[in-house]
Amino acid sequence: MIDTRVVFSAEFHNYFMLLALREAARAAAAEEVPTGCVIIKRPASLELPLAAVHVIARAHNQSEMLKDATAHAEMIALTQASAALGEWRLTDTILYVTKEPCAMCAGAIVLARVPLVVWGLSDPKRGGHSVFSILNHPDLNHRPEIITGVLEHDCRTILQSFFSERRA
């Protein structure tokens, strides 16, 4: 279980958000909404070099390709992480996603017991946390710690560019 007293550096979070942004770029190249997600195994030590931290899942939106409304980056990454660990409880992980999870993904994150969720861009119109407070609802048995705004400008830019190009 992640010790919430441990504070990871901005450099640490930026490194993994950049990996999520790479996944978002893959989604955009496939004409999917550019959202990317990376899940890491919590490092045993903060002394570990960033490149040595174990990435257990990386995914991007694939709803159009798979013709599946549930094929969001977070859902695919949660499935990959569970397979990698052989466990559905992801209690020793950190999830990075470029845009705030929707209600479906936020619910899955809670069910998977992910202890720390980090996102770049909040979604005040559709976000599972912003709109529905799923990630910190007092009646739920698990409420992950949340960090927002990591590489927010980059996360906003990739989404805005995608939709601008589609409108043109």
Give the Cα separation of 35 and 20 in Å (integer).
Answer: 8
> What secondary structure does DSSP assign to 6-59, as a single string?
----HHHHHHHHHHHHHHHHHHHHTTS---EEEEEEPPS-TTS-GGGS-EEEEE
Which one is catalytic: 74, 87, 145, 152?
74
87 is catalytic: no
Give the Cα separation of 122 and 143 in Å (integer).
Answer: 18
Query: Which residue, 97, 109, 33, is CA-closest to 71?
Result: 33
Active site residues: 74
